[in-house]
Structure 1
Amino acid sequence: MGSAADVAQVLKVYWALLLGNILEWYEFAIYSFLEPYLETQFFHGSAISTWLGFACTFAARPFGGIVLGLLGDLFGRKVSTFLSICGMVIGTVGQGLVPSYQSGEVAGTIGLVLLVALRLLQGICTGGEIAAVSTYITEVGPKRSLARSMALIGITANVGFLLAQCASFLTREAVGLAAMESWAWRIPFIIALIPGVIATAGRRCIPESQVFLDAKAAADTTSDVSDVGSESVDANSGDAGSQGAARQAVARIKHLVASQWPALLIGIGSVAGVSVLQYGGFLWGNVFLKKHGASPDHLIAAGVTARMLSVVLAPLVAWLADTVGIGWIQLIGASALTLAGLPLFLVQKWMPDSIGVVLAAYGVGYGTIFALVGMIFFLLVVELFPVEVRNAGVGLSYNIGFCFFGGFAPTVFQASLSWTSWGPGWLMSFAGLVSLVTFVISIWLQSAGKAQLQLAHIRPEPYFALPGRTTDSNQMHSDTAKV
């Protein structure tokens, strides 16, 4: 009862963060569900070029993660979340307003350039969005139910994907295929304006993270004492403030890379499985099945099944993480994807027109695995970094991982079919193996005291304790870990 009240309080106070999170994942998913129409409108029928347009957003995410992450570490989590939601709304709605080649060659070229520019803006802003939101929730959520609070991010992400699939399906059903191919593909982009405005207004009123405020107050006190001499010199220069901010930002980046490089690498590898399943298995897989005979009705049923199953299982997975540790969830989920990625793809490839197969493999198979690897993995990444570099650390590691593994997954999946018809399945299993190996190495490094690695800065226990015992490294950090 107490844990349920904790989660309800987080939802009540920080609803605007979670609504923005729905919008973020909706924006990424809607492009993929509209890929067949964008392929003809902007990319002259080239599927690979269309998926490269999808991937360009991810190329911008690490930049947004580090820039907005630094802003969040310097000026507050609230600032970075407000800037990110504004950019996401502009980037998404704008994609529904650009001209296409249907209006002529010149208009189409201008529209393609604008489309790419808006997707880059979207990537920059979403790169900072998830880092800020996940950092926010971990810092304001009670420690006893931390995973259950973080599950709200996974649940709202699934809601965003489900809404994107429903929006594309319902728009087509309402106006017909001909109108969808001509102009109605714009509607799912434009309607994002409504929740975007609500989330933007709501984020102006959320309270700042107290953990950040305490850390900033302590850092300012130390800075005031140690930098008195330098401040008196800087006061004589006209642009002392901007120079000081620039020096502070550069110093933070250097400190982050120099002191946290093991955590950065672990964060990148940890998201391999979930990002490839999300953007390769779910999004590219949906288009693949559509092009190989699966009916829209079957696909919407499978998509709803997968997303709802993940949402229903999320509280149980989160409770297990709060009970036995997030490490166990990562181990089980990465192992499941490694073993099941290939066979789940193959049965869909062999029988794409079978509603039973698509529901079982895409709906139940992907949905169950995603509940393990995708609903609370944010906590695993956030835990890696201390508070003074947390926002930037999460933004950099998470977004590099999602850019490299997830952003290019549809393009690589599509290209792999020319090498072997089993390619996408092998790639999904390989992504699961990358996350699995990353986790095993991280546990070994911490247990052996290598690289001064601390996997859990917020809640050292439970993390990955064997039944009946506690890892020496967790015990070592339990008294010294700081939020």
Structure 2
Amino acid sequence: MSDPLKSTTPNLWQRLIRRLRPGADEPRRLTVDDVTVVDRPMLRRAVAGTVVGNLMEWYDIGIYGYLAVIIGRAFLPDASAGAQSLFSLGVFAVTFIARPLGGVVLGQLGDRLGRQRVLAFTLIMMAAATFLIGVLPDFSVIGIWAPILLIVLKLAQGFSTGGEYAGATTFITEYAPDKSRGFYASLLDLGSYMGFAIGAAFVSILQLTLSAETMQGFAWRIPFLVALPLGLIAIYFRLKIEDTPAFQEAKESAERAADDAQKAADAPKGVLALIRAYWRELLTAFVLVAAANTVGYALTSYMPTYLTGTLGYDEVHGTLLTLPVLVAMALSIPLTGKLSDRIGRRKVLFIGSISAIVLAVPSFLFMMHGEIWSTLLGLVLLAFPVTFYVANLASSLPALFPTSSRYGGMGISYNLAVALFAGTAPVVMEALVQLTGSSLAPAFYVIGTSIAGFIAVVVLKESARRPLPGAMPSVQTIEEAVELVETQEENPDLDLDELFPERVVVAADAEGEANAQAKTDPGRV
């Protein structure tokens, strides 16, 4: 990255050196050379490439949820309607079994090879697997091999998705300036839910313009086939961006390290070493992801099945009713991301967890009322906590880990949580409905996971407006860099001891020397 002060005049440059760079005998302080001034064109390309890719990935995931009922009939035609629903939702859950493996493998590669390469690979793999689902023969053609191959392709999707969200959040948070990281990171989830919404709209158009027989026969495959050209467009955008300055700086720092101990500290950690070093952070992230995505996947992936199979809406209304709610929520997500930059991540996440606990039962009661207006209101109440939850996970979770282990830490915690809770949420909720006979059962599952989420927010460290661990401060302009350096001692969002651990060592050595001097020559103290 170019020197942020190259464009200033020589006199200003000399003046800044005198004012902002400490002498050799002074404690280590932040200097203008330390501060990263964001390359705005590159930031725009990074946001576009990451959001478009994220949109495409979640379009691929979403269309399966909206076509789950039809797919159940095509791949398990001789089973009962309840068994077909459980099968299709179970296959959806199978996708998430492969996500932790994808998160571990691709996360390790992302910390070693770079974020951009791995993110390009995840898109290629997802687009190919989704397209192949579209051309996969059903049960009437190849018998039992049809559901088996469907499961294999969903596992491939899960593996690629395991590296997508962890990599995308790592990528965008490392590019974003500290003061607006919440806003930029929330754009990822804008892309995610717009992907869901586009999938829902596409399926709805097909259902409104084609007969049920045509949809069941061939037309359900069209949204899957479209994934290939969409994927090519997304890959083009993603290949136009470079790796993040934070990753490049960390890699260069590890290469410059003078001794083996420092190299080991700066290098990416293996899985077991990462778990030993950051188990508290991994556990906090796991619980938050589980809570947020339980309610999130209840809204996006379970609702079409719930509205159709449990509440008796036809398939068109089961999809259409969720569409305006998804669009409104997606457009609101950047607002809550921006709010977290102002009032803090923890406060916004508290709103998400508390509102999920309070609104879950009223949400399902309104939907159970059976009118279109009440169902829409129930969906809005369910979407409210999702808006506050997911918009801030993308900025909060990467801040738990240092640069050298961020992709890997995110890959493990995020994907293990979505595998055990989020991906299974639709099938668990449907099973609870069938087991208890109560259409209200899913609400209590949401409440239970959000109570755990509330506890995780309590122990979460605030990260708004602060540098990421293992990285120097990041700002948007040279003027901000100068102001930051001038006010560093009183800035509540800067911890110089964290930025420069050697300050602590020097201070400890100085204190030890003073104590030793006091013992040998008390009169001088």
Fold match (TM-score > 0.5): yes
Partner of 1:77: 115
Who is 2:432 aligned against? 416
The answer as to whether partners of 1:61 and 1:127 remain within 8 angstroms in 2 is yes
Report the Cα distance in structure 2 between the residues aligned to 1:441 and 1:84, rounded to whole angstroms: 32
Structure 1 counterpart of 2:373: 356
Structure 1 position 36 matched with structure 2 position 52 = no
1:235-274 aligned within 5 A? 252-274=270-292
Distance 2:339 2:156 in 1: 37
| Residue in 1 that maps onto 2:139 | 101
Q: Which deviates further from its counterpart, 410-419 or 305-314?
A: 305-314
* Deviates further, 198-207 or 329-338: 198-207
Give yes or no for contact 1:346–1:425 (8 Å, CA) kept in 2. no
Note if contact 1:310-1:367 (Cα within 8 Å) is conserved in structure 2. Answer: yes
Partner SS state of residue 208, structure 1:
coil
Structure 2 contact 334–391 (Cα < 8 Å) conserved: no
Q: What 5-or-longer segments of structure 1 have no aligned partner?
A: 228-247, 447-453, 462-473
May I ask how many residue pairs the two structures share in their alignment?
A: 433
- The answer as to 2:360 corresponding to 1:341 is yes
**1:313 has 2:332 as partner:** yes
Instruction: Call closer, same or farther: CA 1:456–1:266 in 2, change over 3 Å.
Output: farther
Q: Is 1:322 aligned with 2:360?
A: no
Deviation at 1:174, TM superposition (A): 2.5
Structure 2 spans left out of the alignment, 5+ residues: 1-37, 262-266, 475-490, 501-525
For 1:79, the aligned partner's letter is R
**Residue 175 (structure 1) aligns with:** 210
Task: Tell me, in whole angstroms, the C-alpha distance in 1 between the residues paired with 2:46 and 2:456.
Answer: 35
Structure 1 partner of 2:239: 204
* Contact 1:273/1:337, CA 8 A, preserved across alignment: no
* Aligned residue identity for 2:260: S
Instruction: Write the distance in 2 (CA, Å) between the matches of 1:53 and 1:226.
Output: 47
Answer whether contact 1:256 1:389 (CA < 8 A) is retained: yes
TM-superposed deviation, 1:423: 1.4
3-state SS, counterpart of residue 436 of structure 2: coil
Instruction: Please give the root-mean-square deviation of Cα atoms over the aligned residues, in Å.
Output: 2.8
Give the number of the structure whose alpha-carbon radius of gyration is greater: 2
Displacement, 1:479? Answer: 2.3
Q: For residue 101 of structure 2, what is the amino acid of its counterpart?
A: F
Question: Which of 147, 151, 169 does residue 182 from structure 2 map onto?
Answer: 147
Offset of residue 48 of structure 1: 1.5
Matched, 1:226 2:243: no
Q: Given the superposition, is the C-alpha separation of residues 32 and 315 from structure 1 closer, same or farther in structure 2, using an over 3 Å criterion?
A: closer
Question: Which residue of structure 2 lines up, in the alignment, with residue 430 of structure 1?
Answer: 448
Q: What CA distance in whole angstroms lies between the structure 2 residues aligned with 1:284 and 1:297?
A: 15
1:60 touches 1:124 (CA, 8 Å); kept in 2? yes
**1:363-442 counterparts in 2 under 5 A?**
364-417=380-433, 418-421=435-438, 422-442=440-460
**1:315-361 Cα deviation digits (max 9, x unpaired):** 32122110111111111111100111122112212x23x11101111
- The 8 Å contact of residues 144 and 322 in structure 1, kept in 2 or not, is answered as yes
CA contact (8 A) 2:467 2:494 kept: no
Per the alignment, residue 464 of structure 1 pairs with none
On the 8 A contact 2:281/2:400 being kept in 1, the answer is: yes
Deviates more, 1:31-40 or 1:339-348: 339-348
Q: Do residues 15 (structure 1) and 48 (structure 2) align?
A: yes
Any conservation in 2 of the 1:306–1:366 contact (CA below 8 Å)? no
Supply the distance in 1 between the matched residues of 2:252 and 2:396 (Cα, whole angstroms): 27
Distance across 2 between alignment mates of 1:93 and 1:366: 32
Q: What SS is found at the alignment partner of 2:240?
A: coil
- State the AA in 2 paired with 1:314: I
Corresponding residue SS for 1:99: coil
> Shift in Å at residue 477 of structure 1?
7.1
> What SS does structure 1 have at the residue aligned with 2:137?
coil
2:199 corresponds in structure 1 to: 164
Amino acid at match of 1:80: V
Does the alignment pair 1:186 with 2:205?
no
1:72-118 deviations in Å (ceiling 9; x for gaps): 10010011101111111111111111111122xxx132222221111
CA distance in 1, matches of 2:64, 2:200: 10
Superposition deviation, residue 13 in structure 1 = 4.2
Structure-2 change in CA distance of 1:355 and 1:54 (3 Å): same
Q: Distance in 2 between matches of 1:14 and 1:460?
A: 19
In structure 1, what residue type is equivalent to 2:64?
Y
Question: 1:117 maps to what in 2?
Answer: 152
SS at match of 2:270: helix
Shift of 1:277: 1.4
| CA deviation map 1:373-413 (0-9, x unaligned) | 12232111111111010000001101111111101111110
Percent of paired sites with the same residue: 26
Instruction: Write the letter of the residue equivalent to 1:32.
Output: G
Contact 2:63 2:200 in 1 (8 A): yes
CA distance in 2, matches of 1:7, 1:344: 42
Distance 2:497 2:99 in 1: 33
Deviation at 1:138, TM superposition (A): 0.5
Q: Is the 8 A contact 1:298 1:358 kept in 2?
A: no
SS at match of 2:383: helix
1: CA distance between counterparts of 2:208 and 2:86? 27
The question of whether the paired residues in 2 share the 8 Å contact of 1:19 and 1:156 is answered with yes
Q: Where does residue 509 of structure 2 map in the other structure?
A: none
CA drift of 1:147 comes to: 0.7
Q: Is the contact between residue 138 and residue 150 of structure 1 (CA under 8 Å) also seen in structure 2?
A: yes
| CA distance 1:482–1:393, shift in 2 (3 Å) | farther
- The match for 1:53 is 91
Structure 1 residue 288: Cα displacement: 1.3
Amino acid at match of 2:96: F
Q: Distance in 1 between matches of 2:436 and 2:103?
A: 34
CA contact (8 A) 1:62 1:400 kept: yes
Q: Tell me how far 1:28 sits from its aligned partner.
A: 1.3
State whether residues 7 and 149 of structure 1, in contact with CA within 8 Å, keep that contact through their aligned partners in structure 2: no
Provide the C-alpha distance between the structure 1 equivalents of 2:229 and 2:252, rounded to a whole number of angstroms: 37
